[in-house]
Structure 1
Amino acid sequence: MVAATDIREHMEVRAADGRHVGTVDHLDGESRIKLTKSDSTDGKHHLIPLEWVDHVDAHVHLNKNADDVQRQWTSLN
């Protein structure tokens, strides 16, 4: 599992298929990443679990494709 300390605010989040799925707003607790609502097509915050993170370099890379991420993430108003 990736260390939460490797994930920083404003990092781009990319799905396994290379598509952009969001930008890190901040960590929500120790197990979820909250994405910015300003970068969201529906204007909402979305939460993704750290278990979906494959690796972190200049970006946060997920182990799911973008369609799966968007179907399975948690949406907040």
Structure 2
Amino acid sequence: MAGFEDIREHMEVIGADGVHVGTVDKIEGDRIKLTKKDSGQGSHEGHHHFISRGLVADIEGDQVRLSATAANAVQFEEEE
């Protein structure tokens, strides 16, 4: 089984429901930094968001699967 250290740039981050959450920009400490293009709309647009290591359930090929659904995962995102 792949671990957190196997996460690479440009991998797709998906929720437990298979819905796109974002794209990996890079790893910073215990968090996945998502690209700005996946930052959302309104006040969330144009800056990076972060996903905690604790939400990562598995790594499957070029996808990082989270333990939470996409809708729930964005509630846990941290902003820069």
Residue-by-residue CA offset, 1:23-59 (whole Å, 9 max, x unaligned): 0000011x11110112222222111111111100220
Q: Tell me which amino acid in the other structure corresponds to 2:59.
A: V
- Give the alignment of 1:1-77 within 5 angstroms: 3-29=3-29, 31-41=30-40, 42-57=45-60, 58-76=62-80
| Structure 2: gaps spanning 5 or more residues | none
Greater helix content: 2
Q: Percent identity among equivalent residues?
A: 46
Distance 2:46 2:22 in 1: 11
Give structure 1 regions of 4+ aligned residues with deviation exceeding 6 angstroms: none
Aligned-partner SS, 2:75:
helix
Aligned-partner SS, 2:74:
helix
Distance 1:4 1:54 in 2: 9
Normalised by the length of structure 1, the TM-score is 0.86
Aligned-partner SS, 1:38:
helix
Distance 2:34 2:77 in 1: 10
Distance 2:5 2:73 in 1: 22
Aligned-partner SS, 2:79:
strand
Give the total of aligned pairs.
74
